[in-house]
């Protein structure tokens, strides 16, 4: 049966219909101007999705395509509406899933980083195989890790459910040797997304078997420095379950903005080493890579680490 959302956007895009059934709709094609109702929306029950195809010879929709591609090709104003509705629906389905832990328990970290667990990640391309993703990373002076992936226009299937991910670099998150989710970053707009399996803290570390030596806000920021085992809070907050196990010699190096200063003040009270930004006009480390090398940035960090009262005083001065 065609989903109510696919039905809704297809009908709004084509107008007059000839056939309207549970598993298929036919109408006039808005692309080639066909008037013989040879444009079809068809449900594929075995794959749980619908496709669009025009049977008018020479039409640009002669090859079957997804409803989303049809909306894009026909310049429909419903593209963003469809993407938003689809994503919300898939997220709700994931939250309602009952047997996620069974899937988690079947996944272990591979012997080498190049062997990506097929159970959850086989829907994605390797980021090194996608030129536009590599160009995006090169502009940010970053070299992708072997396990980084990319989703261009795909439905990622998890636990028999689909999550829509488009034009995102996918960075897997590991915990105790097991895959726990991913952080993703869009290359076409300023957008971020994190997918985590249940009971997984929002935290990334290069080697999850060891304590991190530095924690930044973002993954790209942490990889902009030359530290042995960098980590990222993927926000301005370190999860409590992570915080309580951190050794006090970990360096907290958050962004050079109001939130970063406030959170650094918070963690200085826990006794951690705090990096306090000197008088350089950059918001974060990845941005600073446009001016400094990784080695230079690392030296700047090591030269501006403070602890306890001294860290608090210097942070307070930056607030003024």
Residue-wise pLDDT tens digits, 155-198: 665 555 556 678 999 998 988 777 788 899 999 988 888 888 77
177-189 in b/e form (b: 16+ CB < 10 A) is: ebbbbbbbbbbee
Cα distance between residue 232 and residue 222, in whole Å: 6
Indicate the pLDDT class of residue 287, thresholds 50, 70 and 90.
very high
Residue 105 has pLDDT above 50, yes or no: no
Instruction: Pick the more confident residue, 12 or 91.
Output: 12
Report the alpha-carbon distance of residue 102 to residue 110 in Å, rounded: 18
- Output the pLDDT for position 2: 82
Residue 308 tokens read as: 């306890």
Q: What is the DSSP string of 31-86?
A: TT---S--EEEEEETTTTEEEEEE-STT-TT-S-EEHHHHHHHTT-TTHHHHHHHH
All domains of the chain in start order, with CATH: 4-88 (3.90.580), 100-200 (3.90.980), 205-319 (3.40.1360.10)
pTM above 0.95, yes or no: no
Distance CA 64, CA 21 (A): 19
Q: Compute the distance between CA of residue 298 and CA of residue 244 in angstroms, rounded to an integer.
A: 26
pLDDT of 199 strictly over 70: yes
């Amino acid at each position: 049966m065609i989903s109510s959302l696919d039905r809704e956007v297809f009908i709004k895009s084509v107008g007059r219909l000839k056939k309207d059934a549970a598993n298929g709709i036919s109408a006039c094609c808005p692309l080639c101007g066909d008037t013989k109702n040879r444009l079809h929306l068809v449900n594929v029950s075995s794959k749980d999705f619908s496709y669009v195809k025009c049977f008018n010879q020479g039409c640009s929709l002669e090859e079957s395509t997804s409803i989303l591609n049809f909306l894009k090709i026909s310049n429909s104003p419903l593209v963003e509406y469809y993407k938003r509705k689809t994503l919300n629906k898939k997220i709700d389905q994931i939250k309602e899933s009952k047997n996620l832990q069974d899937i988690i328990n079947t996944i272990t970290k591979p012997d080498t980083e190049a062997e990506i667990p097929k159970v959850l990640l086989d829907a994605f391309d390797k980021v090194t195989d996608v030129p536009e993703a590599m160009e995006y990373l090169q502009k940010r002076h970053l070299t992708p890790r072997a396990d980084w992936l990319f989703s261009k226009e795909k439905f990622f299937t998890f636990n028999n459910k689909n999550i829509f991910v488009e034009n995102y670099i996918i960075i897997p998150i590991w915990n105790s040797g097991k895959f726990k989710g991913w952080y993703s970053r869009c290359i076409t707009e300023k957008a971020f997304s994190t997918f985590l399996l249940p009971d997984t803290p929002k935290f990334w570390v290069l080697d999850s078997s060891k304590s991190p030596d530095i924690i930044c806000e973002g993954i790209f920021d942490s990889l902009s420095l030359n530290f042995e085992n960098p980590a990222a809070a993927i926000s301005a907050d370190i999860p409590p379950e992570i915080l309580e196990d951190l050794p006090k010699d970990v360096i907290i190096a958050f962004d050079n903005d109001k939130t970063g200063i406030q959170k650094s003040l918070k963690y200085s009270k826990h006794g951690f080493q705090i990096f306090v930004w000197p008088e350089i006009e950059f918001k974060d480390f990845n941005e600073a890579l446009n001016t400094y090398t990784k080695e230079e940035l690392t030296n700047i960090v090591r030269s501006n680490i403070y602890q306890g009262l001294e860290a608090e005083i210097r942070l307070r001065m930056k607030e003024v």
